[in-house]
Amino acid sequence: MNNKTYKKPSQFRAFLSLAWYAFLAQTRNPASFAFGFIFPVVFISIFGIISGTTPKLIVGIATNSPSSEVIRVVQKQTASFITLDHEDEITLENKLRQGKIDGILQVTKGQGRGEHINLLTSTANPQNASELTSIMGNIVDKENLTLSGITTPPITLQERQLAGRQSRYIDFALPGQIGFSLLSTALFGTVFGFIFLKKAYVLKRMFATPTRALTILLSQGASRLIISLLQTFLILIIGVVVFKFYLPHGFMTFLQLCVLSIIGLIAFLGFGYFFAGIANDENSAGPLINLVTLPQFLLSGTFFPTSSLPGWVQPIANNLPLSYFNMAVRKITTEQGSFHETFPYLIGLLIWGFVMYILAAKTFKWE
Amino acid sequence: MSKNAKTSNSNAIIEVKNLIKKFGDFTAVNDISFMVQTGEIFGILGPNGAGKTTTLEIMETLQKQTSGEVFIDGINTLEHPWDVKRRIGVQLQSTSFYPELTLVELLQMFAAMYDIKVNPMEMLKRVQLEDKAKSYAKQLSGGQRQRFSIASTLINNPKVIFLDEPTTGLDPQARINLWEMIRDIKKSGTTLVLTTHYMDEAEILCDRLAIMDSGKIVKIGTPRKMIDDLIKTGFKREEKPKPATLEDVFLHLTGKQLREP
């Protein structure tokens, strides 16, 4: 009896099975399903809707304003203005101070066809104020030329646009959204997943079988990889089909994005394993994960470009793992670069991952 | 093969020698030795914190002892834990399954972890759960969960199965049902080691018992012998036991059949 030799159990079969069932269990968990699939869709839809509208300047004209040639021109330019002329002066001024409107046009009739335009702006929104001032300046200049009978002015300005892709917010935001999802899955998913497995003795029960600890650990990562690839598919499909997200080389770019997502997730999983190893309950894990993810969401060009950050923050911001991922994705989408141009970022990403895997291996606690 | 070298007693499937387990300054298991014979139901009794679970987990290769040796089927658990794991089945005190997987899926998953093929329906039938095959683990009642847990320990056709407080929290009907299941497993030739807080359970179910207190084994033997030894010292119950217990009343009124949704 004792000399009966047992077949050495295949760790690979255990790995595949554990990865598949861990994935299946996650898709059936309402919380992880919402985090994994519904949130990205909501985010991407919001970004898509934002980027479809160009902001218009809101100009108030008091109800008792006299008829004016300039105001007629302003009212015709509905592409850049929304005009309000059904409110009294005091209401309009209050709105201007609160930043609800961008300017007020006050007209005083002069002699003959002459008129004096008073443009009121506020410091509430300086950017819109200066835009409005420049547009009004143009309109008044043009009107003056017409009234003076000058048809061929001595100085002319001709504008010529080079053909370029119109950069919309969705083109910026979608790559960031892929990174955001990957980092969330790698961290929140892995850490909370492991805490549950520890607490419910699922891991302990598995340790009583001939499956090795490393196999169990890797299978958990693999299940997140399936989830992340599905997230990337979902974000890209909605982005491309609904919001016309631009893939420079079509399907090739799509495949490259999948490869980037795999590399990104593997690197981010280093963080996931590290925190999964040191955290034993949800209460301590939540703040720890936020400490790592929140600054990255803000500093890594997820929602707005890192170039808008102050100079001293940029060296930090540009070297965060999520920044590397976002830069790599934008390199092959918005910047239309080729895949090998992403290598420097991928190396940065993998160095981060490597460091975290080492830390995780040194600190991992199973119970 | 040295790892299969037989220990002194040829009928013992488990041999524990001078086992000590310390957690820092605290000695959870303090130099215990005992043997479990092939095919018996061996119970470990003791108050909370006596070291029952620690002893069990060392035998299960889930913890490493500070010193001493454990042989399962002649194999040293420290030297060849993977060979031991293949020969044992383990039921833990708490729920230990993915709540969102069905029973069939969980059995398939465990089969893959042992790299063997199983017929999940047959296994479920053995623990009267075939009609719950498609249910998620989280939908099971306490008794059903314990039965499923036992089914999962049988996947690899183990020589020994360890049950840590298998009937804690179950109603009397589910408890009786589980006892029958445990006896069935014994009949098939498997050795069982279990811990319990219930003396009636130990008396009815176990062939032999070890009573632990503060990390030591204070008495070991058959339940009958232990009771006789106590009576010999002149011990008497203050009140003569009645021919029936409250449990008999309860079961007489509510019946022995399982109550399950």
Give pLDDT tens digits for B160-184: 999 999 998 888 899 999 999 999 9
Question: Is A9 in Cβ contact with B109 (below 8 Å)?
Answer: no
**pLDDT score recorded for residue A6:** 54
Say yes or no to pLDDT of B194 above 90: yes
Say which CATH architecture domain B2-254 belongs to.
Answer: 3-Layer(aba) Sandwich (3.40)
Instruction: Please report which helix (H) or strand (E) contains residue A64, including its range.
Output: none
Q: Are strands B12-23 and B67-72 parallel, antiparallel or unpaired?
A: antiparallel
Residues with Cβ within 8 Å of B114's Cβ and at least 6 positions away in sequence, in order, are A9, A209, A210, B86, B155, B156
The CA-based angle A85-A88-A90, given to 5 degrees, is 130
CB of A14 less than 8 A from some CB of B? yes
User: What is the residue type of B195?
Assistant: T
pLDDT level of residue B44 (50, 70, 90 thresholds) = very high
Question: Is A22 in Cβ contact with B113 (below 8 Å)?
Answer: no
What is the side-by-side strand order in the sheet with B216-221? B88-91, B160-164, B191-196, B41-45, B208-213, B216-221
Question: Is B92 in Cβ contact with A10 (below 8 Å)?
Answer: no
* Chain B residues 17-76 with a CB less than 8 Å from chain A: 60-62, 73-75
CB of B6 less than 8 A from some CB of A? yes
Q: Are strands B12-23 and B26-37 parallel, antiparallel or unpaired?
A: antiparallel
Distance to chain A for B74, nearest Cα, Å: 7
Q: Are strands B216-221 and B208-213 parallel, antiparallel or unpaired?
A: antiparallel
Which residue, chain included where needed, has tokens 């820092």?
B24
**pLDDT score recorded for residue B184:** 93
| Residue range B7-30: mean pLDDT, rounded | 88
Axis-axis angle for helices A169-184, A251-278 (nearest 10): 40
* B33 close to B16: Cβ distance less than 8 angstroms: yes
Distance to chain A for B111, nearest Cα, Å: 8
Say yes or no to pLDDT of B123 above 70: yes
Domains annotated for chain A, with CATH where assigned, are 17-51+168-363 (no CATH), 57-148 (3.40.190.10)
* Chain A residues 20-79 with a CB less than 8 Å from chain B: 21-22, 24-26, 28-29
**pLDDT score recorded for residue A62:** 84
What mean pLDDT is reported for chain B? 91
Question: Is A204 in Cβ contact with B92 (below 8 Å)?
Answer: yes
**pLDDT score recorded for residue A164:** 65
Q: Which of A2, A28, A200 lies at the smallest CB-CB distance from B95?
A: A200
Nearest Cα to Cα of residue A89 among A53, A68, A118, A109:
A118
**pLDDT score recorded for residue A52:** 62
Question: What is the chain B residue with the closest CA to A26?
Answer: B100
CB of A207 less than 8 A from some CB of B? yes
Distance to chain B for A203, nearest Cα, Å: 8
B90-112 residue pLDDT tens = 999 877 899 999 999 999 999 99
Task: Determine whether A366 is exposed, middle or buried from the number of CB atoms within 10 Å of its CB (0-12, 13-18, 19+).
Answer: middle
A102-132 residue pLDDT tens = 888 888 887 777 888 888 888 877 888 888 8
A193 neighbourhood in chain B, CB within 8 Å: none
Residues of chain A with pLDDT under 50: 1-4
Q: What is the phi-psi region of residue A250: left when phi exceeds 0, alpha when psi lies from -120 to 50, beta otherwise?
A: left
Q: Which range, of B69-78, B134-143, B244-253, averages the lowest pLDDT?
A: B244-253
**pLDDT score recorded for residue B6:** 47
Question: What is the chain B residue with the closest CA to A18?
Answer: B109
Distance to chain A for B240, nearest Cα, Å: 44
* Chain B residues 133-152 with a CB less than 8 Å from chain A: 136, 152
pLDDT level of residue B35 (50, 70, 90 thresholds) = very high
Nearest Cα to Cα of residue B51 among B64, B36, B32, B67:
B32
